[in-house]
Structure 1
Amino acid sequence: MVMSTAKSSVRPLIGAVGTVGAFYGTAWKIVKAMPKRPFQWRELVSQAWFIASVSVVPTLLMSIPLCVMVVFQINVLLNEIGAIDLSGAGAGVAVIREIGPVVTVLVVAGAGATAICADLGSRTIREEIDAVRVLGIDPIQRLAVPRVIASCVVALFLNGLVTAVGLCGGYLYAVYLQGATPGQFVAAIPILTGVPDLLIGELKAGVFGLLAGIVACHLGFSVAGGPKSVGDAVNQTVVFSFVLLFLANSVITTLALH
């Protein structure tokens, strides 16, 4: 009785370890296949356009209200101490260091990665992936590598888009609704932020895109069963991507500000 109870309590742990091990195995295969030739340039461009097409509108819809909300809270505090003209510095810190990468996390995981997982999962249940293997083609090199790189590249551009939209929205809100001086707002932006902060934000976005793409490809290739399993894999992609991306964001922020 005791032995059976111990075995039942160990099984979930063994399953979790196996799942994590399988994910790292897929990640290693993708990294190892990146330098192999021939590289699928056409697939890369096609997937980058596809991911961008499903990500740009959600990025704009999320970045505008989120940036305005944060800038509003910062400006309220600065207005209380009579330093509203320094709102540009607060907007720069908020948008460049955190809001840009965080919105990129949400969009890359919620739109881009799920689209990749649904595409690969559908191909898996239709046995297209098995057919590719039978033809002697490595699906990791042919399908996964272009999607992971495309996710990484699109994430870089999305972070730049969020940064530009956030600063412009913060400027309009601070100047026209909260009484900040236009010239002082612009002049205050580089007080607390600079090119290194923008590069760190781009680094975060690139890592987020890489991780989200790997998670999506792994779960898409691991689908077993019918259409329901594809939906389950898409849901898991969102959850696992959020966990990994926010963890990566915390680690990179801590190391960068140390």
Structure 2
Amino acid sequence: MLIASHPATKPVRALGGFFAMSLDTFILMFQRPFAFREYVIQTWFVARVSVLPALMLTMPYSVLLVFTFNILLNEFGASDFSGTGAAIGTVNQIGPIVTVLVVSGAGATAMCADLGARTIRDELDALRVMGINPVQALVVPRVLAATTVALALSASVIIVGLAGAFLFCVYVQHVSAGAFISGLTLLTGAGDVVVSLIKATLFGAAAGLIACYKGVYVGGGPAGVGNAVNETVVFTFMVLFAINVIVTAVGIQFTVS
């Protein structure tokens, strides 16, 4: 008991609890009953709070990318390849990263706060007493909602980012519109788009799992809920960069070969 309650073992126990809840979530996704109504409500909520910030954040990122890239291309007299750089940056990095930043900053924190408030009010214990599994009733629909919105939002962000890069290059930096369009598929193909969507899916699932875990296992009353929300954002960003590095490295092996 002394070893189990030692503060040094707390991160290990938390990591084990997270993986245990994640495994339960993936198993219960394919079992009945499925909380379809809760899934629809959470999907609409995450989409409602994420779409506008994600699209507004995409435009400056895309413009900054092509502006910096075109400065380098102009030095070599190859400004017609600006579409190539815009496609690589937007599809491979900006699309999925902007998506998860917004989903984790807006949707996941709200999920964590909601579940944390239910936990400190003993609502989850009441569900267990009634024979309802809180993971199946509350966690599964929220994780699926975050994953669905991240996947759909990533595709929208990519389209808006490429449109913004096109307008900036053509009307501000006076790049040929035909050259920009033809350069989009020079180095970016269907494989890169698939890898980008896989990234967004994994990002959304990770953000949903972290938010639900921090909300379900929150402690310390209302102050603990606030700390859990802050920790959700921090841990999600850390996982984001880890997943991004791994998936990018694996994706390059498939797309290049």
Shorter-chain TM-score bucket reads over 0.9
Counterpart Cα distance in 2 of 1:156 and 1:28: 21
User: In the alignment, which residue of structure 2 is the partner of 1:3?
Assistant: none
Q: Is 2:50 the counterpart of 1:55?
A: yes
Aligned amino acid, residue 74 of structure 2: N
Q: Deviations over 1:209-248 (max 9, x none)?
A: 0111000110000112321111110001001111111100
User: In the alignment, which residue of structure 2 is the partner of 1:197?
Assistant: 192
Q: Which of 120, 135, 139 is equivalent to 1:125? A: 120
User: In the alignment, which residue of structure 1 is the partner of 2:99?
Assistant: 104
Q: Deviations over 1:133-161 (max 9, x none)?
A: 11100010011000000100000011111
Q: Is 2:139 the counterpart of 1:139?
A: no
Task: Give the alignment's TM-score, normalised by structure 2.
Answer: 0.94
Which runs of structure 2 are paired with 1:13-24 in the superposition (5 Å)?
A: 13-24=8-19
Q: Which of 87, 110, 133 is equivalent to 2:82? A: 87
Q: Which of 14, 28, 42 is equivalent to 1:33? A: 28
What SS class does the counterpart of residue 186 from structure 2 fall into?
helix
Runs of 4+ residues over 4 Å off in structure 1: none
Q: Is 2:178 the counterpart of 1:183?
A: yes
Task: Confirm or deny: 8 A CA contact 1:100 1:163 kept in the other structure.
Answer: yes
Task: Give the alignment's TM-score, normalised by structure 1.
Answer: 0.94
User: In the alignment, which residue of structure 1 is the partner of 2:203?
Assistant: 208
User: In the alignment, which residue of structure 2 is the partner of 1:229?
Assistant: 224
Structure 1 unmatched runs, 5+: 1-6
Task: Confirm or deny: 8 A CA contact 1:159 1:205 kept in the other structure.
Answer: yes
Deviation at 1:11, TM superposition (A): 4.4
Deviation at 1:96, TM superposition (A): 0.3
Which runs of structure 2 are paired with 1:162-177 in the superposition (5 Å)?
A: 162-177=157-172
Counterpart Cα distance in 1 of 2:136 and 2:200: 23
Structure 2 unmatched runs, 5+: none
Task: Confirm or deny: 8 A CA contact 1:108 1:208 kept in the other structure.
Answer: no
Task: Confirm or deny: 8 A CA contact 1:105 1:246 kept in the other structure.
Answer: no
How many aligned positions are there? 251
Calculate the aligned-residue CA RMSD, in Å: 1.5
User: In the alignment, which residue of structure 1 is the partner of 2:111?
Assistant: 116
Deviation at 1:85, TM superposition (A): 1.0
Deviation at 1:132, TM superposition (A): 0.8
Deviation at 1:12, TM superposition (A): 4.6
Deviation at 1:105, TM superposition (A): 2.2
